[in-house]
Structure 1
Amino acid sequence: MKFQTFFVACALVLSGSALAQTPAKQWDRTLGGSGEERLAGMQPTRDGGSILVGASQSGISGDKTQAHLGGDDAWVVKVDALGRKQWDRTLGGTRYDGATSVQQTADGGYIVAAYSDSPVSDDKTQASQGGVDYWIIKLDAQGTSQWDRTIGGDADDTPISVQQTADGGYVLAGNSSSATSGDKSQASRGRSDYWVVKLDSQGNKQWDRTLGGSRIDAFTSLQPTPDGGYLLGGYSQSDVSGDKTQPSLGGYDFWLVKLDAQGLKQWDRVLGGSENDYLQGLQLTADGGALLAGSSYSGASGDKSQPNLGGRDFWLVKLNAQGTKQWDHAYGTYQEDYLTSLTLSTDGGCLFGSSDFSTYHATKLDAQGAKQWEQTLRADGGYTQLTRVSATSDGGYLLAGMSTDGAVNDKSEPSRGGELYGDYWVVKLAPAVLANHSAKAPAELRVYPNPARSSFTVQLALNMPPSGLQLHLVDAVGRKVLRHALTAASVQVPTDTLPAGLYWLRVSGPQGYQATQRIVLE
């Protein structure tokens, strides 16, 4: 099985395992109302800010400007580059609704994956299919709803991930226990299955696929692949049955499934040890492989090469372009360590977030899986749960979750309310500085303006001759859309024929030289 390059942000690989100083906290923000707020999804936005989604029980109070609609509501919050709230939207019907995932769309708006058991009411324009359904909402750039769709079967269907696809449509993936009914065209395989739904640009269903074995299969992560297909990850209790072609290794295992562009299964892969292993994060890497991250109770057994460090460990597995395991590493302590989220970094490594329900914990690894730094952020011993981490365009990181604590330790703002989950809590970490480099060392590649409109300029560092260098611009689905030879230390590149959106700029040359920058075209 072969992955191709997708996120070119990882193209610049550090040689060795250079140590870096632990980054400082730049700012933190508490966002909520007088009731409970639970953050589930977060994504940086092209203006340097971020978009946050989750569930809320609050009425108009604190940061919440719209009335409570019933049960739980989906709550969407847009913040700027300093975490300051720009707008918020409450979305829901008369029963229980909440958002799980969000992505900024090519038109500057947002696609929100939510769940709902509400009938037609308030923001919900279509009837429940039965139990909990996928509820998909398209917002414009100001957070105004443009359309919504309810998609489901006769039982519970909960979306976990939404992504915009190259054709302008959307792919949704989550968990389903529904039989063939409603929008679900295939029978249940077991107690819980992966369920993937492809929509067009207006939210109309094009196809759906049910994937699973005879027992519990829990979806957690999806990535579109450059061939137009999809890589899905989660964890499975099933033995060989249904769509699962490899036996269980013990308890729950990591389970990967590759689909083609029409949603047909191409292959599946089981990875695990003799005990329970839970995949929580999946990213495609610039070398054509994949990085898998989760939690593990297994000792050295099966695919796990290292002994258990105590209770639940963090477990990372790197696959190469052929899908063969290159390495795996266990990280942790004698305590229960719960990995919640994974993001790639622009230096070829990654950062994973974890939580012990009282702290945020971030661990940075280089491209070979060696630990570079750790950062722990504490409140005051109440409930604090990290749910998402993401790299930012300046080389820093966002950590987002929820906390019941007031202004104490690393939390600088008071609680808005809520005794069980509290408020959204967002923390920005500054870019780390490599210990063997000066903080003022010149960048080897400068791109400006960024965002750009009709053109941008690429400027090389003074010690980088342009001989033999090539520039490639890669769009959000991994397609090379522009190629340009660099014939001088400063070159202007026209982009007026390219659509607006997020791109990766890659410069490569002799002796394996490569450098990568993220750029936004407006």
Structure 2
Amino acid sequence: MKTFLTQSPSGPANFAVLLFACTLCISLFSLPVSGQPAIVWDKTLGGTYIDEARAVNPTSDGGFIVAGISYSGAGADKSQAARGNADYWVAKMRANGTKEWDKTFGGTGIDNLVTVQQTTDGGYILGGWSESDAGGDKSENDRSGTTGTRGDYWLVKLSASGARQWDRTLGGTSSEILKSVIQTADGGYIAAGTSGSPVGADKTNPAIGTGISQDYWIVRLTANGTKVWDKTLGTTDWDELGGMDINEQGGYTLIGLSRGTASGWQILKLSTTGIVQSQRKLAHSVNGYISEIHHTADNGYIVGVRTEPQSLGYQAVKLDAAGDQVWEKFFRGVNHQGTSNSEQLTSIIQAPDGGYLLAGYTFSDAGRDKSEDHRGEEDFWVVRLGADGSKHWDKTLGGSRQDLAFAITRVADGSYVVAGTSFSGAGNEKSENARGENDFWIVKLDSGAGKPMLSFSASQLNFTVNQGASAPPQAVMLAALQGEPALSLAKSPNSSWLVLPQASTGTLSFGINAGGLVPGVYTAEVTASAAGYVSAHFSVSLTVLSTSKGTTVRINAGGNAFTTSDGRTFSADMYYGGVNRVHSIPSGDIIGTNDDGLYRSERSSATFSYNVPVKNGDYMIVLHFAEIWFGAPGGRPLQLRQRLFNIDLEGYRIYTDYNVVAHAGAPMKMTREVFPAIISDGTVNLGFSAGAADLPTLAALEIIPLAEFSTELELPVLADATVRDGSFANQNMGTLPVLDVKSGPGDGVNRNTYLRFSTLNLSDIYAARLRIYGNNAEAGTNVNLSVYGVDNDAWTETGITWNNAPQGIAAADGYVNVNSTQDFYEVDVTRYVRQQTETDRLVSFVLKNPTAKNRRLAFDSRENTSGNAPKLIVVTREGFSDTYRKAAAAENTALNILPAEAGSIILPNPVAGTFRVRVSDQHHGKTSYRAISQSGQEVIPLESSNMDVQTRETEISGQMLRTGLYLLKIQSESAAETLKLMIVK
């Protein structure tokens, strides 16, 4: 869109420009002075399977120690083999994020690490719970024996180099789950968690409750791991220990939640010998699970709570020294429906200035307390508070998939390290590819304390250029809030095409140099930095259009860049307009696809559009949908017609009240719609607007040149041979230059021809036909040549005879009448070729005359010098995962209702006037053709030149149809199917 202002400089136009500039400046300079922290670095660590970082703490050399659980064997970043099911995995890291060493510890079962700390001797204490018996690195059996519920505390002491010095198993005859282990002033350890055991094994006190209950269990150990004493504490109800810390008297403070008649938070203070000095109940505003408790500098406590329901967000509660509440704060974002989404607080620590840092994960968008939209499915979310609980800043960190933060700590240089697990590859804040299914992900943030911000006036620039051409530069404003810093600009790797300006505040002009770039979509990120300032970022996309053909464009609507299992690359969301609102879910199986992540995010608002630049030409537009709200986990219950919206393509309404669930068949199931489009103005225009119910959505879109969408390939025959009965039944004729087909009475009259082809590497065959060259060599009459599929591909060209030839299937796949004219003859074999492509990808046929005409049909073999050997002509479609269509076909088999695109083809499509329909071989007998408009009105039956399916191709007059999209319904005596028909003028 271009706007022209023609008034004089003193008139309204100049005032409008001035007003825009002032508004822009006000919006830039009204941002908070204390900004988000910069990412110093991020690191991915993992084996080849599942790895989750659960704890991180600083070390005395300025580095840190990170630990968690691992299901991986040796490989990638993991140097040691797995011990059992799940193991402890610990990595010592240098200050710059490089790995110093890693160690694996485990028994033969499940070992679940929850904490790691450096000890005063420079070594480390690992704590968690284990279901393993002795074996591997575990020296003692589970205490429950063979009858109780398994699970004990398991502590492992390491030297400074990571060597195991000792391990201790602590438990009763039922299950124990460790929450915390801390080194005490005398070099020993205090371990705390929950226990469901009575007296027995290491447990000296009986359970407090009766029936199904659990208690707090605290164990004091010496420096070498010998047990000194243990205490069972709690109420008569179900007690869940939230955390433990050493208090100002050197004793221990425990906080937990009791559920039952004595429901509430419990705070207990113990002496160094385990004597209860005080115990009190606190009122609390929500149910939930206590993530952590820490002693604060004012001798009070800070408590982090994982709330129930999750929509209440992070909860932080400040207690004074007596355990009374000082303040309570909640922090949350919003989703696309305007209601709060799920936040899970997992870690909380105090900052040197008396404030606090909260870490966990969320899939909320910006709003309420959250300043940034989600990145992928779930993201790390860090929130910085002042001493009074007021929010200073928040930071969202994530890749394209699920990223869960479990711990945060402050390291020696004042920066913060947050650790968790990531399912994401490189993208957004994540700089490295995944190692396995999920990995440790560690991010270092600078403190951000008191730093002013840099800010760009736009979040994205989009360039479009023809291959080999240039494009005018585009401008963005850069503002430094406070002062005049020495600025620098940087761009992401592999973006040499982007030309950066000289760094300065004010208007910056960004250019491109597309020379040498092949057609496609390119993206880059620009970062503005200055010492003492929080950096600013924005993204740039470049679409290079081919001068000779169209360029394929794929966009992940509402999401980040995504590569499908079959190698298609979707760019992050771009070229959209309207209300900027997206929705995503963190997990869940999307039926009908291996690419669940593509459908777990969507653009969704009352009205939005896509205006995508392309080279003029013919395209196929593919729209991807899945209902991930109504009837989906975490969404609203499914009812009839809950989401109905309209879709426009190039200004024409192609769907009114489109219903995703109706087309997909269920929630959480993918579906796609394919439409032809003729582009003459250089832009594909798509519009989505609210219909009769709720909001429109879109998961992804593809714009594919028609020539690339379907390609015709000629597959050469791999083997061909004639077999003959009677006295010739044991003779092989595989090397002859002519292939014969004949049937009738007499010795050696019957002859069949066998052919074999390969469809290897062809994943989506739209249509297939067998082409052979020859004639009726004995008479001028038409002779039926029928083609039958052969399931047994074991025959060989030089070994096959009439006696050992495999049998064909009972029904012919197709036929053609052959006359005396030497010519190419074709038979539609789509059904059988598709079937074989789903199995061994070898396709064999036998050619016969079933009518016993006693006429010889002769065709050129691959040994013939004419070059007219048999060929299999296949039409392949652009590489979609075909799971969805196969499932639909299976569902419709009983009704004999063919799934969309079952084999019939409209030529050409889009249509202007008369068109042809190449009819699927599954139609037989009298056939009718009807067009249904998008409003559901039926057009008069179309006039067809051939109403009885014989030639499999018929011409239809479409002159009465107005411009727009129609559904062409084909009904024969044997089947019914529906195709999309686009009429243009």
Aligned to 1:222: 244
The residue type equivalent to 2:344 in the other structure is: Y
How far off its partner does 1:52 sit? 1.3
Structure 1 runs of 4+ aligned residues shifted over 6 Å read 436-441
2-structure distance, mates of 1:297, 1:121: 39
Instruction: Provide the rounded CA distance (Å) in 2 between the counterparts of 1:274 and 1:394.
Output: 37
Shift of 1:254: 3.3
Query: Aligned partners of 1:42 and 1:77: how far apart in 2?
Result: 10
Q: 1:27 aligns with which of 21, 41, 44?
A: 41
Aligned to 1:42, which of 56, 64, 78? 56
Aligned partner of 2:292 among 259, 281, 286 = 281
Aligned-pair CA distance for 1:218 = 1.3
Inter-partner Cα distance in structure 2 for 1:274 and 1:228: 30
Determine helix, strand or coil for the equivalent of 2:329: strand
TM-score for the superposition, normalised by structure 1: 0.73
1:45-124 residue pairs with structure 2 within 5 A? 45-124=59-138
Matched ranges for 1:80-479 at <5 A: 80-130=94-144, 131-190=150-209, 191-240=213-262, 248=263, 253-273=264-284, 275-297=286-308, 311-333=311-333, 334-356=340-362, 358-380=378-400, 382-418=401-437, 422-435=438-451
Report the CA distance between 1:274 and its aligned residue. 5.6
What's the CA shift for 1:56?
0.9
- Looking at structure 1, the residues matched to 380 and 298 of structure 2 have their Cα atoms a distance apart, in angstroms, of 30
SS at match of 1:414: coil
Does the 8 Å CA contact 1:213/1:238 hold for their aligned counterparts? Answer: no
The residue type equivalent to 2:412 in the other structure is S
* 8 Å CA contact 2:63, 2:412 repeated in 1: no
1:435 Cα offset (Å): 4.7
CA apart distance, 1:260: 1.2
Q: Is the 8 A contact 2:63 2:411 kept in 1?
A: no
Q: Of Structure 1 and Structure 2, which has the larger fraction of its residues in helix? A: 2
- Measure, in 2, the Cα distance between the counterparts of 1:417 and 1:296: 31
Paired residues of 1:174 and 1:194 also in contact (CA < 8 A):
yes
Query: 2:287 and 2:323 mapped to 1: Cα distance?
Result: 22
In structure 1, how many angstroms separate the alpha carbons of the residues matched to 2:359 and 2:195? Answer: 27
Residue deviations 1:121-176 (CA, integer Å, cap 9, x gap):
12111222111111111100000001111111111112121111001100111121
* Paired position in structure 2 for 1:458: none
**Aligned-residue offset at 1:201:** 0.7
CA distance in 1, matches of 2:88, 2:121: 22
1:383: Cα distance to partner? 2.4
Shift, 1:43, TM fit: 0.7
Task: Say if 1:23 and 1:431, in contact at 8 Å, map to a contact too.
Answer: yes
CA distance in 2, matches of 1:169, 1:440: 54
User: Using the alignment, how far apart are the partners of 2:163 and 2:243 within structure 1?
Assistant: 27
Check 1:186–1:430 CA distance in 2 against 1; reply closer, same or farther (3 A cut).
same
Distance 1:273 1:133 in 2: 30
Once the two structures are superposed, what CA deviation does each residue of 1:57-77 show, in whole Å capped at 9, x if it has no partner? 111111111111111111111
2:571 is matched with none
Give the Cα–Cα distance (whole angstroms) in 1 for the partners of residues 84 and 298 of structure 2: 47
Distance 1:114 1:288, change over 3 A: closer
Q: In structure 2, how many angstroms separate the alpha carbons of the residues matched to 1:140 and 1:106?
A: 11
How far apart, in 2, do the equivalents of 1:290 and 1:281 lie? 10
Q: Deviations over 1:178-219 (max 9, x none)?
A: 111110111223422221110001100011111222332111
Which whole-Å deviations, capped at 9, do the CAs of 1:435-479 have from their partners, x for residues lacking one?
A: 5798999xxxxxxxxxxxxxxxxxxxxxxxxxxxxxxxxxxxxxx
* SS class of match (1:287): coil
- CA displacement at 1:111 relative to structure 2: 0.8
C-alpha distance in 2, partners of 1:33/1:415? 9
Give the superposition deviation at 1:48: 1.4
Instruction: Judge conservation of contact 1:295–1:312 (CA < 8 Å) in 2.
Output: no
Q: CA deviation at 1:227?
A: 1.4
Distance 1:158 1:290, change over 3 A: same
186 and 19 in structure 1: CA distance in 2 versus 1, 3 angstrom threshold: farther
Gaps of 5+ in 1: 1-17, 241-247, 299-309, 442-522
Max Rg structure: 2
Shift of 1:330: 2.4
Query: CA, structure 1 residues 435+27, in 2 after alignment: closer, same or farther (shift >3 Å)?
Result: closer
3-state SS of paired residue (2:341)? coil
Q: Distance in 2 between matches of 1:375 and 1:414?
A: 22
Task: Tell me how far apart the structure 2 counterparts of residues 438 and 154 of structure 1 sit (CA, whole Å).
Answer: 64
**Native 8 Å contact 1:234 1:280 kept in 2:** no
The aligned residue for residue 511 of structure 1 is: none
TM-fit CA distance, 1:374: 0.5
Point out the more displaced range, 264-273 or 215-224. 264-273
Q: Is the 8 A contact 2:42 2:442 kept in 1?
A: yes
Secondary structure of 2:311's counterpart equals: coil
1:213–1:239 CA contact under 8 A, matched in 2 = no
> Alignment identity in percent?
38
Comparing both chains, which one has the higher relative contact order based on Cα–Cα distances under 8 Å and sequence gaps of 6 or more? 1
> Structure 1 pair 91/435, CA: closer, same or farther in 2 (3 Å)?
closer
3-state SS, counterpart of residue 311 of structure 1: helix
Superimposed CA distance per residue, residues 210-240 of structure 1 (whole angstroms, 9 cap, x where no aligned partner)? 1222332111311111312101123221434
Distance 1:317 1:47 in 2: 33
Contact 1:169–1:203 under 8 Å retained in 2: yes
- 1:385-422 Cα shifts (integer Å, max 9, x gaps): 1100112222221110001111111111111112xxx1
Which deviates the most, 349-358 or 273-282? 273-282
| Contact 2:113 2:128 (8 Å CA) reproduced | yes
- Answer with 312-321 or 176-185: which moved more: 312-321
Aligned amino acid, residue 313 of structure 1: G
Equivalents in 1 of 2:83, 2:304: separation in Å?
A: 37
> How far is the alpha carbon of 1:34 from its aligned partner?
0.6
One-letter amino acid of the counterpart of residue 58, structure 1: S
The answer to whether the Cα contact below 8 Å between 2:64 and 2:411 also exists between their aligned partners in 1 is no
C-alpha contact (below 8 Å) 2:64/2:95 kept by paired residues: yes
Q: Give the counterpart letter for 1:361 in structure 2.
A: W
How large is the RMSD of aligned CA atoms in angstroms? 2.2
Deviation of residue 296 (structure 1)? 3.6
Separation in 1, partners of 2:284, 2:342: 18
- Asked if structure 2 preserves the Cα contact closer than 8 Å seen for 1:254 and 1:279, the reply is no
Could you say if the C-alpha distance between residues 311 and 272 of structure 1 is closer, same or farther in structure 2, counting changes exceeding 3 Å? farther
